[in-house]
């Protein structure tokens, strides 16, 4: 469960107080925070066990009015659910999922998911990160979000010896092409 809000112009990060108090926000009252992608996420809630996610999209007009993809909405719900995991969620000493990793995972999902992209599995890691996985259409993809600066991926085609293991930085378009394979858009 999340709410999508659109800010015109540059990406804006909503101040936590504005979210918690649910005050109307305007571009004039928000700090100007530039981000590297079209989505910026803020978490806040009256109840710390029920995070509220507000997603700001860059731009205005048709870009800002784009429909929320069902796969994106469901995937964000899965990411937010991971934030509720307590320390030791695996019956050992697993760390809770960090908000930094959740924000980065949501940013990646916004960039990767199209209307026909299959839902990824959203999995917590014992070190407080998030793993996004697709195992469909003869393609296996695993994206490891360990922090906003430490994201990598592994992808392979089961019908050939084609595979890649790489840090995400500099390989963003490569990962997008692999994710498109899961929807059958590219052969």
Which pLDDT band holds residue 115 (cuts at 50, 70, 90)? confident
- β-pairing, 3-6 with 52-57? parallel
Cα gap 133→28, rounded to integer Å = 39
Within 8 A by CB and 6+ apart from 125, the residues are 131, 144, 146
For 117-172, write each residue's pLDDT tens digit.
Answer: 999 999 999 999 999 999 998 999 999 999 999 999 999 999 999 999 999 999 99
Residue 90 has pLDDT above 50, yes or no: yes
User: Mean pLDDT, the chain, as a whole number?
Assistant: 74
Q: What is the pLDDT of residue 150?
A: 97
Share of the chain above pLDDT 70, in %: 62
Within 8 A by CB and 6+ apart from 72, the residues are 109, 110, 113
Residue 44 has pLDDT above 90, yes or no: no
Domain boundaries, the chain: 1-66, 95-187
Instruction: Note whether 152 and 132 are within 8 A (CB).
Output: no
Count of residues in the chain: 187
Q: Chain centroid to CA 57: how far? A: 13
Q: Chain centroid to CA 4: how far? A: 13
Find the DSSP H helices in the chain.
16-20, 70-82, 99-112, 172-182
Q: What is the pLDDT of residue 20?
A: 24
Q: What is the pLDDT of residue 42?
A: 53
Closest CA to 130 of 157, 95, 162, 173: 95
Closest CA to 51 of 11, 5, 85: 85
Cα gap 66→72, rounded to integer Å = 12
Which pLDDT band holds residue 187 (cuts at 50, 70, 90)? low
């Amino acid at each position: 469960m999340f709410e999508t809000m659109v800010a015109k112009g540059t990406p804006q990060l909503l101040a936590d107080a504005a979210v918690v108090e649910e005050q109307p926000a305007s571009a004039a009252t928000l700090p100007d925070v530039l981000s590297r992608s079209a989505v910026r996420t803020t978490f806040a809630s009256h109840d710390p066990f029920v995070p509220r996610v507000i997603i700001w999209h860059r731009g205005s007009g048709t870009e800002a009015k784009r429909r929320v993809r069902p796969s994106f909405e469901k995937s964000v719900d899965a990411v937010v659910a991971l934030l509720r995991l307590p320390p030791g969620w695996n019956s050992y000493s697993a760390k809770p999922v960090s908000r930094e990793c959740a924000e980065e995972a949501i940013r990646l999902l916004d960039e990767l998911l199209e209307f026909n992209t299959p839902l990824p599995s959203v999995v917590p890691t014992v070190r407080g990160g998030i793993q996004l996985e697709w195992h469909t259409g003869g393609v296996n993809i695993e994206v490891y979000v360990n922090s906003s600066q430490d994201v990598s991926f592994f992808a392979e085609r089961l019908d050939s010896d084609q595979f890649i293991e790489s840090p995400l930085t500099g390989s963003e378009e490569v990962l997008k092409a692999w994710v498109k394979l899961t929807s059958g858009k590219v052969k």
